[in-house]
Amino acid sequence: MIAVLLGPPGVGKGTQATRLTDAHGWRHISSGDVLRREAELDTPRGRALKEILATGRLVPDDTTLQIVLDHILKAVIERGVLLDGFPRTVVQARALDAALSEHDRKLDLALLLDADVDEVARRISGRLTCRRCGAVYHTTYNPPKAPGVCDRCGGELYHRSDDDEATVRHRMAVYVRDTAPLIDYYEAQGKLERVDGGRPIDEVYASLDGIIRGAKV
């Protein structure tokens, strides 16, 4: 199966994607992680990406497609894939559909996590990310077993620089403008499933897992 996890920044996509891919043996591809790794490179493209990500702007479609599609196409050959943060626009969604079609594959399911802006802001203010594997935690809702240490790989946890309130508000505005139209795109294809992302993590996971297991039947 190839599925995409949609929702505003901070709604919990990374946390749920990690649990779902562990449970189903899928490959988790986070466009944010892929782009941040590229941004760490001391190249013209890496430096330009670093500036864009730091201000919460949306990475241009052509840049995102070039970097992320290659990772996706390599992964779908091997096993199921859960996409997190990609596609972000209808243009990217159409490009993904075309690329998968060339390999006789298709996107099977679009899972939408919803939550209000204030809840998202609270979550992001306490979010921690592993520098090594990209796993996501929260100081209140999903704390690591040992402070500052990733449960999965032992890597260092840190608070991302783009998680301050002003940047979060800007990212939410970008989401509404550019990413929300994906909801209509996938709903028209009959692939969209909605889940209330404002509930406790375990409840959200149970809903997502149930939808996936039902789609596999």
Catalytic residue set: 13, 88, 127, 160, 171
E-only strand ranges, the chain: 2-6, 27-30, 81-84, 109-114, 127-130, 136-138, 157-158, 192-196
CB 124 within 8 A of CB 159: no
Instruction: Spell out the residues 6+ positions from residue 54 whose beta carbon is closer than 8 angstroms to its own.
Output: 161, 162, 167
Q: What are phi and psi of 136, to 5 degrees?
A: -115, 135
CB 6 within 8 A of CB 110: yes
- Side-chain-facing half-sphere of 114: CA atoms under 13 Å: 7
